[in-house]
Structure 1
Amino acid sequence: MSGYRYGRYVDGPDPLAPPTDLRAAMDELGREVMEGSSPAAALRELLRRGTEGTRGLDDLMGRLWKKRSDIQRRHRLDGTLQEVQRLLSEALSAERRTLFPEPTDDARFREAQLDALPPGTAAAVRDLADYDWRSSEARESYEKIQNLLGRELMDQRFQGMKEAMANVDQGDVQRVQEMLADLNELLAGHAAGDEDTPRRFDEFMAKHGEFFPENPRDVDELIDALAARSAAAQRMMNSMSDEQRAELAALSQQAFGNSGVGQQLSTLDSLLQGLRPGEDWNGSARFRGNNPLGLGEGAQAMSDLADLDALAEQLGQSYPGARLEDIDVESLVRQLGAEAGVDARRLAELERQLRDQNLLERGPDGDLRLTPKALRRLGETALRGVVDSVRTPRGDRDNNRAGAAGEPIGSTRPWQFGDSEPWNVPRTVTNAVLRSGGGPVSLDVVDVEITETEQRSRAAIALCVDTSWSMVQDGRWVPMKRTALALHHLVRTRFRTDALELITFGRHAETVDIGELTSLEGVWEQGTNLHHALLLAGRHLRRHPDAQPVVLVVTDGEPTAHLEPTGEAEFNYPPLPRTLGKTLVEVDNIAKLGASITVFKLGDDPRLAAFVDTVARRSGGRVVAPDEDGLGAAVVSDYLRARKRRR
């Protein structure tokens, strides 16, 4: 029996992986937004950190930079020069060993020729091009130099050619010369606007396709591949010293025995620079390692560095309209391995689902924002946390009695004087038929039955939250927002007939919707204008005269500002008597509307404690002093308690 081996699935996303946890992602986004981040910044932070089981962009970015640093720290670019110098030294040593025992003048003359070679490697190789080697070993080493240069130059421009031309002969050199000549002719015609380029490209690939394993589909793909490699080769040359560049430029003319391959490659580079000027032809990198790289390996290293830089930009997501779908996953897998590709796909899928599930949207100004659906999810999470603290049994929120303006509860009762509920026609007619005993049917008042209803008290709630800087400074910003979210979600889902108004007050007060409050950023602003907030609360209560008024105030400071008739806010600390007086006048006005004010006092300021006690006494309300974690439970509990009271 053959055995089976099982391992991790690496060919793309794991088909058995759990689905993306959007709820957890939304909780993370909500926390960041409530702390003052914009939705776009919160999304970037979530993707930067990653999620459970998925590494984030920071981890991928760190691995990219580590690999980039390793390439530069471990390698150097003079591998081809060192190999040429080694082969040249072997050739000269072998030739001198052959000449030394010979007593002839010819041997001494040849030794003098070798001694007179110029000091530069390229110049020495060039001067030995016509030298008649007496040593077969020396001749072989010298020919290796010419073939090595040809293979390295080809590998520098055409990836993988060094191995493909390991055992090059004269026929191979002729094929390379012919391919380069045809290629330069094709590209020159394309640059000149030759309309016959597609046909010529097909003929070229049919003839020389073996040199292009990437199998380009048209001349533009061919140019793209060649230009990327040629630009990497140019950046490699830019990274060398002036002396190294000069040596390699001179040596390239000796490739394949001065066959002209070097000149053809120079022509190719010029054509490619003209056709793809957008490539990075002027860049460079600093290599400081001990591992020498040949021309082909160096070009590949430069290409890898370019890939790593491009991936870093994609992972950075710092350009306008950036999305994780922009990441070149194939390149990421090539550089960091299959697991990195899986992480990138998961993050991109999370971002896509947040958009596709209508949790994020673009506003009229183009900024990313949370949708109402996302706000409902955040509210649900906030309310769940509050309910866990409140532990109030469901069903005791409503006030049940037979009366008007309610919902049918399924039962009926005989009509009594003063009842205004609708008649239950089937029961009324049935009573009349039974009373007639089979005779003519006529209705009498004793036959009438009405449908019993459940009256549900309707409330008008004004939640006034302090947004002065002290709320941010003392860590009360997020609990305040979470409280508003929980109350908003409770009203919208359980008590839909209630009218909730959210009012923020700092130097001024204003009404906001839940989305504005959730994404509200803390700003340095002095002033706690409770006077203005109560003015807006009173206006809201007057718009709903048939509803039970509920006013809830969350604050951590006594009033230090009030609204002047001109609409300007006057601030002073310590508070002016006029500020306190105007605020208490609005407290009295709220009380006249039948509302008691519950103040949720945060902090231990004795001046605030004295003031809120006065507010509670004058409005018939109360003061609650929860800690930050218990604020939401306290507000929701008080709302339910106030709502339960009969008007």
Structure 2
Amino acid sequence: MSTSRFSRWDGTQDPLDGDFDLGEVLDGMSDDLLSGAGTGEALRRLQQQGMSGRFGGLDALRQRIEEARRRAIEDVNPDGPLDEVRDKLDAIEALERLELSGHDDDESRFKEAVLDALPHNPAAEIKELFNYNFTSSEARERFEQLIEELQQDVLNSLFSNMSGALQNMRPEDIERVKDMLAELNDMIAAREHGDEYDFDGFMQRYGDMFPDNPHSLDELLRTMAERMAAISRLMASMSPEQRAQLDELASAVLDDLDLAFQVDRLGHSLRGLTPQLPWDESAPSWGEGNMPMAAAV
């Protein structure tokens, strides 16, 4: 397969790259010139259609881009993350059942009954397991690890520009994210009411969370709004069942962090501030591959 290299035009490049015979170019334009088209029109058509054996032209390039886009869409499936969480929960439950099977007492039998009654929906099961006292230390550690991973995925999906600050979060780091969102929401409210707000102070406290270093509140909100609008488009393209399950899964981990209120408050504000963005417009449908967890939630 042929490959091409592209670079930004700076006026110094030779469009024919020193490799084209001008006679070939004129031959490629000859039919249009003989039919009465001007040289500009003939050259534009050559750019669109290309030259046989030389280059495919803009039409062929558009087709290649559309084909690559179609393949990328078909490679992604929003059910993948839910299946991944389901598999991890099944493994955690299996570890707990194995541990309980070695205990001959009423409490262990009661816990087995609790496990039998767990809902199959991943989000609902996670909510139940939050209050479950694991007998297996390994099962408990894996569950805690799963919750931490989901917490990071949910926050990364909403705030991609904070992804560096959200890696390997500790409980105190998550509390700091919640504090940051509360201050950000308060700044938005202050601006809407015409009150003063301290963006520089905000960046001094939380600038490490924003590696792109926004220089104003408007710049920060624009970046966040574009990200949230993209997520809303993705959600709008899913089936109602897929959307409900992912919403419930995100809520299950955010509710435990007491972040849902701040996230919802921010999302509502951003929608009002940027109505021109394609909020909730359906994106193309997805195919059979697995979507990364952070992208799905």
TM-score (norm 2): 0.81
Tell me, in whole angstroms, the C-alpha distance in 2 between the residues paired with 1:36 and 1:15.
30
- What SS is found at the alignment partner of 2:256? coil
Letter in 1 for 2:58: L
Tell me, in whole angstroms, the C-alpha distance in 2 between the residues paired with 1:44 and 1:260.
59
Between the two proteins, the alignment pairs up a number of residues equal to 287
Query: What residue in structure 2 maps to residue 153 of structure 1?
Result: 154
Give yes or no for the alignment of 1:247 onto 2:248: no
How do 1:308-327 residues align onto structure 2 when only pairs under 5 Å count?
A: none
CA change 1:257–1:268 in 2 (3 A) is closer
Tell me, in whole angstroms, the C-alpha distance in 2 between the residues paired with 1:193 and 1:36.
65
Query: What residue in structure 1 maps to residue 282 of structure 2?
Result: 283
Query: What residue in structure 2 maps to residue 220 of structure 1?
Result: 218
Aligned residues of 2:78 and 2:242 also touching (Cα < 8 A): no
Shift in Å, 1:259: 0.7
Can you give the 5+ residue segments of structure 2 that lack an aligned partner in the other structure?
none
Give yes or no for the alignment of 1:118 onto 2:108: no
Shift in Å, 1:19: 6.2
- 1:29-82 Cα distance to aligned partner (Å, 9 max, x none): 896477366898667534423589776422331232122101111111233312
> RMSD in angstroms over aligned alpha carbons?
3.4
Shift in Å, 1:271: 1.5
Letter in 1 for 2:237: S
Letter in 2 for 1:61: R
Query: What residue in structure 1 maps to residue 140 of structure 2?
Result: 139
How do 1:518-529 residues align onto structure 2 when only pairs under 5 Å count?
A: none
Tell me, in whole angstroms, the C-alpha distance in 1 between the residues paired with 2:246 and 2:296.
13
Query: What residue in structure 1 maps to residue 268 of structure 2?
Result: 270
Query: What residue in structure 2 maps to residue 96 of structure 1?
Result: 97
Tell me, in whole angstroms, the C-alpha distance in 2 between the residues paired with 1:275 and 1:102.
58
Tell me, in whole angstroms, the C-alpha distance in 2 between the residues paired with 1:37 and 1:298.
52
Shift in Å, 1:256: 6.0
CA change 1:160–1:102 in 2 (3 A) is farther
- What SS is found at the alignment partner of 2:212? coil
CA change 1:39–1:143 in 2 (3 A) is farther
**Which has the larger helix fraction?**
2
- 1:385-435 Cα distance to aligned partner (Å, 9 max, x none): xxxxxxxxxxxxxxxxxxxxxxxxxxxxxxxxxxxxxxxxxxxxxxxxxxx
Q: Which has the higher contact order (CA 8 A, sep 6+)?
A: 2
- 1:149-183 Cα distance to aligned partner (Å, 9 max, x none): 21111111222655653422111111111122222
Tell me, in whole angstroms, the C-alpha distance in 2 between the residues paired with 1:71 and 1:115.
40
- What SS is found at the alignment partner of 2:157? helix
Tell me, in whole angstroms, the C-alpha distance in 2 between the residues paired with 1:274 and 1:229.
15
Give yes or no for the alignment of 1:48 onto 2:48: yes
Tell me, in whole angstroms, the C-alpha distance in 2 between the residues paired with 1:58 and 1:78.
35
Tell me, in whole angstroms, the C-alpha distance in 2 between the residues paired with 1:206 and 1:43.
55
Query: What residue in structure 1 maps to residue 68 of structure 2?
Result: 67
Aligned residues of 1:147 and 1:257 also touching (Cα < 8 A): no
Tell me, in whole angstroms, the C-alpha distance in 1 between the residues paired with 2:136 and 2:164.
28
Shift in Å, 1:209: 1.9
Which entry has the higher C-alpha Rg, 1 or 2?
A: 1
Aligned residues of 2:161 and 2:210 also touching (Cα < 8 A): no
Shift in Å, 1:272: 1.4
Aligned residues of 1:78 and 1:294 also touching (Cα < 8 A): no
Query: What residue in structure 1 maps to residue 87 of structure 2?
Result: 86
Shift in Å, 1:106: 0.8
- Give aligned-pair identity as a percent: 33
Tell me, in whole angstroms, the C-alpha distance in 1 between the residues paired with 2:221 and 2:50.
38
Can you give the 5+ residue segments of structure 1 that lack an aligned partner in the other structure?
1-7, 300-647
Query: What residue in structure 1 maps to residue 14 of structure 2?
Result: 18
Letter in 2 for 1:194: G
Which residue of 297, 305, 310 maps to 2:295? 297
- 1:187-246 Cα distance to aligned partner (Å, 9 max, x none): 3334x153635xx32222222222222222322222221112111111121222222221
Aligned residues of 2:161 and 2:212 also touching (Cα < 8 A): no
- What SS is found at the alignment partner of 1:221? helix
Query: What residue in structure 2 maps to residue 258 of structure 1?
Result: 256
Letter in 2 for 1:178: D
Aligned residues of 2:155 and 2:166 also touching (Cα < 8 A): no
Aligned residues of 2:28 and 2:51 also touching (Cα < 8 A): no
Aligned residues of 2:96 and 2:135 also touching (Cα < 8 A): yes
- 1:478-501 Cα distance to aligned partner (Å, 9 max, x none): xxxxxxxxxxxxxxxxxxxxxxxx
CA change 1:187–1:116 in 2 (3 A) is same
Tell me, in whole angstroms, the C-alpha distance in 2 between the residues paired with 1:120 and 1:33.
67
Tell me, in whole angstroms, the C-alpha distance in 1 between the residues paired with 2:223 and 2:107.
52
- What SS is found at the alignment partner of 2:91? helix
Tell me, in whole angstroms, the C-alpha distance in 2 between the residues paired with 1:196 and 1:38.
61
Tell me, in whole angstroms, the C-alpha distance in 1 between the residues paired with 2:51 and 2:126.
60
How do 1:453-468 residues align onto structure 2 when only pairs under 5 Å count?
A: none
Tell me, in whole angstroms, the C-alpha distance in 2 between the residues paired with 1:274 and 1:40.
47
Aligned residues of 2:75 and 2:288 also touching (Cα < 8 A): yes
Aligned residues of 2:76 and 2:291 also touching (Cα < 8 A): yes
Tell me, in whole angstroms, the C-alpha distance in 1 between the residues paired with 2:27 and 2:222.
44
CA change 1:115–1:40 in 2 (3 A) is farther
Shift in Å, 1:253: 2.3
